[in-house]
Amino acid sequence: MHRELIPTLEEKARNLRVSIIKTLHRSQSGHTGGSLSAIDLITALYFHTLRHRPEEPAWEGRDRFVLCKGHAAPAQYVALAESGYFPKEDLMMLRRLGSHLQGHPDSKQTPGVEVCTGSLGQGLSQACGIALGLRLDGGDHRVYALLGDGELQEGQVWEAAMSAAHFRLDTLCAIVDANGLQIDGEVAKVMGVESIADKFHAFGWHVTEIDGHDMGAILAAYAHAATVKGKPTVIVARTVKGKGVSFFENKASYHGVTPSDEELPRALHSLGCLEKL
Quickly state the pLDDT bin for 1 (edges 50, 70, 90). Answer: low
Cα separation, 218 vs 206, whole angstroms: 16
Q: Is 195 left (phi over 0), alpha (psi -120 to 50) or beta?
A: beta
Q: What is the pLDDT of residues 58-115, one digit of tens each?
A: 999 999 999 999 999 999 999 999 999 999 999 999 999 999 999 999 999 999 999 9
What confidence score (pLDDT) does residue 222 get?
A: 98
| Residue 14 clears pLDDT 70, i.e. is over it | yes
Q: What is the pLDDT of residues 211-232, one digit of tens each?
A: 999 999 999 999 999 999 999 9
| CB atoms near residue 59 (< 10 Å) | 11
Cα separation, 47 vs 192, whole angstroms: 33
Quickly state the pLDDT bin for 276 (edges 50, 70, 90). Answer: low
CA-based nearest residue to 273, from 17, 71, 23, 27? 17
Query: Mean per-residue pLDDT for 112-119?
Result: 96
Q: Which amino acid is at 212?
A: G
What confidence score (pLDDT) does residue 118 get?
A: 87
| CB atoms near residue 226 (< 10 Å) | 14
What confidence score (pLDDT) does residue 4 get?
A: 86
More confident site: 42 or 276: 42
Query: Mean per-residue pLDDT for 153-171?
Result: 98
Query: Mean per-residue pLDDT for 36-40?
Result: 98
CATH 3.40.50.1100 fits 3-270, yes or no: no
Q: What is the pLDDT of residues 45-54, one digit of tens each?
A: 999 999 999 9
Backbone angles phi, psi at 174, to 5 degrees: -90, 145
CA 251 and chain centroid, separation: 19
What confidence score (pLDDT) does residue 139 get?
A: 83
